Structure 1
Amino acid sequence: MGASAPFQTCPPPEDVEGRCIEVRAGQPTEMHEVQLSPGLMTTFVFDSDVHPEGMILEDSGRFEVAELGKRTLALMPTDSPRSEQPGALKVCFADSAAPACVSFRLLMHPVMAERQVRLLRHPRSADSLEAELRESHEENARLHAELTRLNAGRDSPLGLAGMLVSGVVDERGMSCSPSDIVQPLGAMLSAVELSTCRTATRVNVRVRVRNNSETPWIAQGAKLVGPKGEAWRGSVWPEEPVPPSKSVDLFIEARVEDVRMEGPFVLKLWEANGSRTVRLGRVAFPVLGAGTAF
């Protein structure tokens, strides 16, 4: 059983006589078209040993097999192409590597034929393919289990229906309104735009901030403080640094449990180490059901 030549590749078409085909393990099965003509011999040359009984020639009575060697096959049609129906040839290799076989669609032409077809095979061992298949199955099983876990933990639908079922949004919808900026966040940050939104159980502040410092600034947490000292922790998105001299929209969301949002409120933002905490005062929220509803 001869060895394959996995590092060989087909040269440019202008540098090779006849036809050159490359096949690789893991590629979709393909029928490679080869043109034959009655009375003209077409020679197939393989870079791996062919199995002695590994050739399947469909409608073999139409062809003469002049030579079948360990790595060569010479084939010639014996009849005129009365039918446009192509023939088929399948050749399997002697080793156990993949791809195990290669298939050809034999097209007939009255006078023109490809005189030589060279096939280069890039094999992989069966053990390697099986290991990759096992890894794929394990990854699919892990993802399926994760999806099942997430679906099991979700007791409401997604989208707008899910927000209605969970009570995040009720029939009053969501109200949003722009707010006037009456003071900067601080020397290191300035606020360019501000808008607030609220639903039955959530409030959201969108503030476009500009980083006036020479180092990136990233908010780790946020808090809304009311006029009577009531406070709600909020999450900040995106969790990415605001680069120096750049502006970024920050979205701060807090759960308020349908309380009356009478302000004004103070918005506090702080970094991971707490050294650069900033404040924005007089943040107000629209009355639910008023303003621009979405």
Structure 2
Amino acid sequence: MGRLAHWALGEDGLSLYVIPQADYLPGERVKVTVRFADGAVPATASFWLVGHAAKGTRRVEVFRQPRPPDVLKKERDEAQAEARQCQEDKARLLAEREEPGGLMGAVWLEGAGVVASKSLDSQVRKPPANALGLEVAWSYSYTPTGETNPAGVVVRLRLLNPGAEPWTLAGAALVDSAGEEVELARWPLAPIPANGAGAVVVGIEGERAQLGCPCTLKLWEDAGPRTVTLGNVEFPVNQQEGP
């Protein structure tokens, strides 16, 4: 599935970084075994790395020894708060399935603010393995009056489908320069026809829109191997750069 690019041993953990091979298949599994040198039990721990066409888990924590109750309680509270946030995000995304809201669907936003746009055509990186071609790419940001941070960011793409089957966007995510990944709302949901072209719009609003860029944009089908990855995606700040 890949080769071990880097590993780092710390006082309380081990970090592994894997670079996937270009020909690995979704669902392919690789076993990794860690052996402990202190002679305590357990002496080893094994993990399975499972390939996915677009998604990945950035961090997995496995603890060898029992942990203090106060630490577990704190982590439980944090996990519950994160789960609530995910539920709220999910509800918002589902509400936007019929038609996009906010910056994604409006030419004029309610309230005062600055909508800025930026052409990405000359800077975005397009890996050869992408399933679709890129014809046009624009990024947008909305900053309320008096604020310095954006309240929403959007990317609009016109994609070319050279395949013999339609391509339907099932999910989208942005990965910022620190490696943090956020899921994006998406529209429209109509497929891009075989040997044809179509536009897609993806974006996010709220605090999670304040990303450290340049970012990587990932698009994928539902349970399909045809994915699109675009690197060096940036958003304009408080200025109009569009046509």
* TM, length-normalised to structure 1: 0.40
Higher relative contact order (CA 8 A, sep 6+): 2
Using structure 2 for the length normalisation, give the TM-score: 0.47
